[in-house]
Amino acid sequence: MALRPEDLPSDPAALAEMVLAFEGENDDLRAEIATLKSLIFGARSERAAIVCAEQIAFDLERTAGSQLPANDDKPDAPRPERRKAKRNIGALPAHLPRVERVIEPASTLCPCCTGQMHRIGEESSEALDRVCFGME
């Protein structure tokens, strides 16, 4: 509805009432814009596939002027810290027997200068051997 200066009332009380009505309408429109933005740009789990006008109107009437927490969330409650997942990537269970095998060179003398060689690196790995017993 377009307002023209000749349509405005001259009574200050009526003008104040119109301003308050427009402020309420602006608040409703801001809430609707915020709802639409969250539906479009929100987290993937919060996006809605189909949004009906009735759903938006219901949501705005219920939450006009205040932000209600979703589900049973408490807005000021501290969130519990998540523990890091325990993953066993490449390690064998501790209860399995271990066999350590060290492979040394035949001679620790350098083939070039015949000086004493020293260890520059070490590598270890775990492997699971399968032992099959013959069926008799």
Which string of DSSP letters, residue by residue, matches the chain?
A: ----GGGS-S-HHHHHHHHHHHHHHHHHHHHHHHHHHHHHHS-GGG--S---HHHHHHHHHHHTTS-PPSTT--TTSPPPPPPPPP--SSPPPTTS---------S--B-TTT-PBP---------------PPP-
**What does residue 116 show for φ and ψ, rounded to 5 degrees?**
-70, 130
Q: What's the confidence (pLDDT) of residue 29? A: 92
State the pTM of this model: 0.30
Q: What's the confidence (pLDDT) of residue 72? A: 56
Q: What's the confidence (pLDDT) of residue 89? A: 78
All residue ranges of the chain with pLDDT < 50 are 47, 61, 64-65
Q: What's the confidence (pLDDT) of residue 121? A: 81
Residue burial 14-44, b: 16+ Cβ < 10 Å; e: rest: eeeeeeeeeeeeeeeeebeeebeeeeeeeee
